[in-house]
Structure 1
C-alpha cells in the first residue's frame, strides 16, 4: 500500500542517501535539516517501509514554493513524481493557497513536461541559477494558479 507521511527528522539520513543516488546535484544534509520548520510541507511517499520519493515545499501567506520532488532512482518512470506533485497541490489547496511556484533546471525536460501537464506555466528565467558540469545553467520559473478547477 502506498501512503504519504510527513517527513520525520529521523528520516533525513534515508532521504540524503536517496537524493545522492537519484540526482546529479544532491541537496546536503544541512539543507534538508533547514527545511524542517513549521511553515514547510514535507512529505515522504512510501510503499510499506520503502521510501519511494519525497517533496519539500514552503508556504508563505497564500503561496507555496516547491523546492524539490525526488523519486528513488529505481522507482523513476512509474508515476510517483506525478503522485507527489498532485499531493503537494492538494495540500496547498487545503491550506487555502492561491498559487504554487517552483524553479526547474532548463535541461530537465521530463520535469518541465510533468509540471506543464499539471497546469504550471513558465513565468520567467533565472540566468545561471543552477550549478552544472559546464558551470551553470538557467532555471525556468513556473507558476500554478490554484482555483477550484485546477486539475490534479
Structure 2
C-alpha cells in the first residue's frame, strides 16, 4: 500500500476520524461493553495514552460510533482493539477507521500492520482480507471464550 493511495472512498463521508482523548473514555467504555464479549477495563485504555500508541475515534456528528487502538513498535504497527457501534455495523465505518489508521501508519513510516482476530469473527476476517491483509499465523487459545479459550488468526498488511 502506498501512502498516496486514497483511503476515503467508502460511503461514509459523514464519519470523521480524529484522535481519541481521555474525555472520550465514557463513550468508549459503553461501546467496548456492547461490542466485545470480554471488554477491556478502563485502566487498559488509560495505559494506551503513551507516545508509541495511536488512538482513534470515529464519530458521526457529536456521537462516538467507533474507535481503534494501535501500538507502534519500531517499524511495525499492531492493531490492538477496533470496535464499531452495533447500531452502525455493516455501514463501512470499520473500513473507514481501518483505512485511516493504515494511512497514518504508512505516513508515520511503519512497514506493516499486524492484528489478531477471533477465528469465529468471519465479518472482521473478510474485511481484513478485502483490505489486503493475509493470514500469517494462528495463536492457540488467545481469546477468552467463557470457560474455554478461542484461537486467533494473526494477519498482516505489508506497506513496503
Residue from 80, 84, 91 that aligns with 2:104: 91
- CA–CA distance in structure 2, aligned partners of residues 131 and 2 of structure 1: 32
What TM-score do the two structures reach when normalised by structure 2? 0.88
**CA deviation after TM superposition for structure 1 residue 24, in Å:** 1.7
Task: Map Cα deviations across residues 44-74 of structure 1 (whole Å, 9 max, x no partner).
Answer: 0111111110100011111100011100111
What TM-score do the two structures reach when normalised by structure 1? 0.93
What pairs up with 1:97-112 in 2 under 5 angstroms?
A: 97-112=110-125
Q: Are 2:15 and 2:93, in contact at CA under 8 Å, matched by a contact in 1?
A: no
* Secondary structure of the structure 2 residue equivalent to 1:25: coil
Structure 1: state its 5+ residue gaps: 148-152
- CA–CA distance in structure 1, aligned partners of residues 150 and 19 of structure 2: 32
Structure 2: state its 5+ residue gaps: 1-13
Question: Equivalent residue for 1:49?
Answer: 62
What pairs up with 1:12-91 in 2 under 5 angstroms?
A: 12-91=25-104
Count of aligned pairs between the two proteins: 147
Q: Are 2:66 and 2:84, in contact at CA under 8 Å, matched by a contact in 1?
A: yes
**CA deviation after TM superposition for structure 1 residue 134, in Å:** 4.7
Structure 1 runs (4+) deviating above 4 angstroms are none
* Secondary structure of the structure 2 residue equivalent to 1:26: coil
